[in-house]
Amino acid sequence: MSLLHTARLNGLEPYAYLKDVLERLPTQPASAMTELLPYRWSPAT
Protein backbone atom coordinates (compact mmCIF):
# COMPACT_ATOMS: atom_id res chain seq x y z
CA MET A 1 0.00 0.00 0.00
CA SER A 2 2.80 2.43 0.83
CA LEU A 3 4.39 1.74 -2.55
CA LEU A 4 1.19 2.79 -4.32
CA HIS A 5 0.84 5.86 -2.13
CA THR A 6 4.43 6.85 -2.91
CA ALA A 7 3.69 6.43 -6.62
CA ARG A 8 0.67 8.70 -6.24
CA LEU A 9 2.76 11.31 -4.40
CA ASN A 10 5.24 11.25 -7.28
CA GLY A 11 2.50 12.03 -9.80
CA LEU A 12 2.20 8.52 -11.20
CA GLU A 13 -0.98 6.61 -11.94
CA PRO A 14 -0.72 3.76 -9.39
CA TYR A 15 -2.27 1.03 -11.57
CA ALA A 16 -0.01 1.73 -14.55
CA TYR A 17 3.04 1.94 -12.28
CA LEU A 18 2.31 -1.33 -10.47
CA LYS A 19 1.43 -3.17 -13.69
CA ASP A 20 4.68 -2.11 -15.35
CA VAL A 21 6.80 -2.94 -12.30
CA LEU A 22 5.27 -6.40 -11.91
CA GLU A 23 5.85 -7.13 -15.60
CA ARG A 24 9.48 -6.00 -15.47
CA LEU A 25 10.37 -7.49 -12.09
CA PRO A 26 11.16 -11.07 -13.24
CA THR A 27 13.73 -9.90 -15.80
CA GLN A 28 15.14 -6.89 -13.93
CA PRO A 29 18.74 -7.46 -12.80
CA ALA A 30 19.28 -7.10 -9.05
CA SER A 31 21.73 -4.28 -9.67
CA ALA A 32 18.99 -2.23 -11.37
CA MET A 33 16.16 -2.71 -8.86
CA THR A 34 16.32 0.93 -7.75
CA GLU A 35 15.05 1.91 -11.23
CA LEU A 36 11.67 0.44 -10.25
CA LEU A 37 11.18 2.70 -7.24
CA PRO A 38 8.44 5.31 -7.76
CA TYR A 39 10.74 8.32 -7.63
CA ARG A 40 13.10 6.85 -10.28
CA TRP A 41 10.64 4.89 -12.44
CA SER A 42 9.95 5.66 -16.06
CA PRO A 43 7.58 3.60 -18.23
CA ALA A 44 9.08 0.84 -20.32
CA THR A 45 9.43 1.80 -23.97
- The tens digit of pLDDT for each residue in 17-38 reads 999 999 999 999 999 999 999 9
- Residue 44 inside a domain? The answer is no
Residue 1 pLDDT class (50, 70, 90 cuts): confident
Q: How many domains does the chain have?
A: 1
Residues spanned by the domain of 21: 2-36
- Residue 17 inside a domain? The answer is yes
Q: What is the mean pLDDT of the chain?
A: 92
- Residue 45 inside a domain? The answer is no
- Residue 7 inside a domain? The answer is yes
pLDDT given for residue 39 in this prediction: 92
- Residue 42 inside a domain? The answer is no
CA distance 12 to 27: 22
**20-41 CB burial, b ≥16 within 10 A, e <16:** bbeeeeeeeeeeeeeebebeeb
